[in-house]
Each structure stands twice: as C-alpha cells, then as structure tokens.
Amino acid sequence: MTETGSEALPAWEARCQSHGLLMTAPRRAILTAMSTLDAPRDAVTLLQAAREHHAATSMGTVYRLLRELEQCGLAYAHAQPHARLRWQLADSHQTNAMLQHQSPGNLRVMRRQLQNFLRDLENIGLAEARLTQPVPPASAARIETNLPSTTATFDVLRTIAEHLGYRLA
C-alpha cells in the first residue's frame, strides 16, 4: 500500500535521496502534496497543492520532479484519453518490481550508478572530484571492448571517471 500523509514524508525523502535526488523545499512540497492526495492528480493540481506548502514552487519544478520520480520508479503516470497525465507515487512493492524490470542498457540509470559509485570512492579516499570540466567525449581515450586484464579494466574505469569529472587515486 502507498504510504500517505505527512508522516510518510521522511520515508519518501529517504527513497528519493537513495536515488540521488536532491531534496529542496519545492520538491518536499510536491512530495507532500502527492502523498496527501488520495488519487492520481495532474501536474496543475499537484502544483496548486504544493504551493500550499511552499509558495515558490514552479510548474517546471513539478514536471522535472515527476519525470525524475518516474525514471527512478518512484512514481508512475496514468494516461487519460483527451486529458492530462495523472501522477501517483508508487508504493515500495511497485518500486522494487519496476527496478527489477529496468533495461540493463538504460544509460541514465548506468550513469547515475557510476556517479554514485564514484562518490563512494571519493568518500573512502580512492577518487577525488575534479574542479575542471570533464573530458569531452571526442577527446576521451578509445575504449576497447575486449579487455582481458585487470589493468585494462582499471584504465576503462579511469577514463569513465575522468569523463564524469573525477580522478581516481
């Protein structure tokens, strides 16, 4: 069952943060609105409800958060014929099922996983974030597909890390 009400907000914030989503005041207001509404609602209704909690919430923020929640499997959209999409938070069972069926080749998911991995490496001192711009793809080293050795695998990881703005120690 979907958790609802203001007491569910900390659990939803934790879920969002576990997917790498930053929780700002407007996003918190949108999550509060979504968790207190009893049925799927369109973005305009969510915006109006969110503004009761944080007046500076914008329509752009609503749409961006809804898209990110859907990509993470935390919300889903109901298509309505000749009407706006209606959005609803997914319960934890639905979220787990959606995550199991995600395409392993989804580049956004893979990039997010790599960035989380690199942040973890940074936290334990094995990588550091670079202050300069990442290496553009055209100038990045060519990555071989048949890599037999550990050294070659490490070279690929180093190239990916540099592309994402990190330097491995």
Within a domain: residue 1?
A: no
Q: How many domains does the chain have?
A: 2
Q: How many CB atoms lie within 10 A of CB 8?
A: 17
- Read off the amino acid at residue 46: L
| Distance in angstroms (rounded) separating the CA atoms of residues 130 and 152 | 22
In a domain, 75, yes or no: yes
- CATH code, 78: 1.10.10.10
Q: What is the mean pLDDT of residues 66-90?
A: 87
pLDDT higher at 84 or 51: 51
pLDDT band at residue 64 under the 50/70/90 scheme = very high
Query: What pLDDT does residue 147 have?
Result: 42
Looking at the fold, whether 88 and 121 belong to one and the same domain comes out as no
What stretch of H or E contains 128?
A: strand 127-129
Residue 25 to residue 23: CA distance in whole angstroms: 7
pLDDT for the residue 24 = 94
Question: CA end-to-end span of the chain, whole Å?
Answer: 45
Alpha helices in the chain (DSSP H): 9-18, 25-36, 43-51, 59-72, 92-100, 107-123, 150-163
Predicted local confidence at residue 162, as pLDDT: 81
pTM beyond 0.75, yes or no: no
Residues 75 and 82 sit within 8 Å (Cβ to Cβ): no
Range of the domain at 116: 107-168
Give the pLDDT of residue 106: 60
